[in-house]
Amino acid sequence: MRFAEKLGMKYNNAFNEHLSFDDVSLLPRSSDLEPSEADISAWITPEHLLAIPFISSPMDRVTESEMCIALAREGALGVLHRNNPMQVEVDMAKKVKREEISGIIRDPLTVTPDTPISTVIRIMREKNISGLPVIDKSDNLVGIITNRDVIAANPDSPVNKEMTPKEKLVTTLEKDILENGKLNTEKVKQLLHFHRIEKLLVLNELKKLTGLITLKDIKRLEDSPYVSRDSEGRLMVGASISPFDHERAIRLDLVGVDILVIDIAHGMNVKAIKSVEKISKDVNSWIMYGNIATEEAAEQVITSDINKLASLRVGLGGGSICQTTQVTGVGVTTLSATALVADAVQEHDANISIVADGGIRGSGDLAKAIGVGASAVMCGYLFSGTDEAPSEKVYIRGVPMKRYRGMASPSAIRERYAVDRYTRGTKEIAEGIEGVVSYRGSVRTLVRDLAAALKATYGYVGARNTKEMWEKARYAKRTMVGVREGLPHDVIPETQFQDLYDTF
Point out which residues pair with 54 in neighbouring strands: 377
Check whether the bond before 291 is cis (ω within 30° of 0): yes
Identify how many contiguous H helices and E strands the chain contains and give both numbers.
21, 24
Show Cβ contacts of residue 437 under 8 Å, excluding neighbours closer than 6 positions: 381, 384, 385, 401, 402, 404
Query: Residue 188: enclosing H or E segment and its boundaries?
Result: helix 185-195
Q: Where are the beta strands (DSSP E) in 414-495?
A: 434-438, 475-477
Closest to ligand XMP by CB, 211 vs 359, is 359
Work out how close the CB of 35 gets to ligand XMP at its nearest, in angstroms, rounded to a whole number: 25
Work out how close the CB of 294 gets to ligand XMP at its nearest, in angstroms, rounded to a whole number: 15
What is the distance, to the nearest Å, from the Cα of residue 427 to the centroid of all Cα atoms in its chain? 28
* Of 343, 304, 302, 298, residue with least CA distance to 316: 298
Query: Which positions touch ligand XMP (CB under 6 A)?
Result: 57, 59, 291, 315, 317, 319-324, 357-360, 378-381, 406-409, 431-432
Closest to ligand XMP by CB, 53 vs 432, is 432
Closest to ligand XMP by CB, 238 vs 317, is 317
Closest to ligand XMP by CB, 238 vs 358, is 358
Which of helix, strand or coil describes residue 214?
strand
Total residues found in the chain within this entry? 504
Closest to ligand XMP by CB, 97 vs 313, is 313
Closest to ligand XMP by CB, 275 vs 324, is 324
Catalytic residue among 2, 248, 421, 440: 421
Work out how close the CB of 313 gets to ligand XMP at its nearest, in angstroms, rounded to a whole number: 7
Give burial (CB, 10 Å; 0-12/13-18/19+) of 230. middle
Catalytic residue among 61, 82, 322, 405: 322
What is each CA distance from 308 to 22, 46, 263, 283, in whole angstroms?
Answer: 35, 9, 16, 9
Work out how close the CB of 325 gets to ligand XMP at its nearest, in angstroms, rounded to a whole number: 8
Work out how close the CB of 372 gets to ligand XMP at its nearest, in angstroms, rounded to a whole number: 17
Active site residue 322: yes
The Cα–Cα gap between 253 and 504 comes to 62
Which DSSP symbol is given to 386? B
Q: Where are the beta strands (DSSP E) in 81-138?
A: 105-106, 131-135
* Of 288, 291, 298, residue with least CA distance to 265: 291
Q: Which residue is nearest to ligand XMP (CB)?
A: 432
Active site residue 421: yes
Work out how close the CB of 75 gets to ligand XMP at its nearest, in angstroms, rounded to a whole number: 20
CB 137 within 8 A of CB 112: yes
Catalytically active residues are: 322, 421
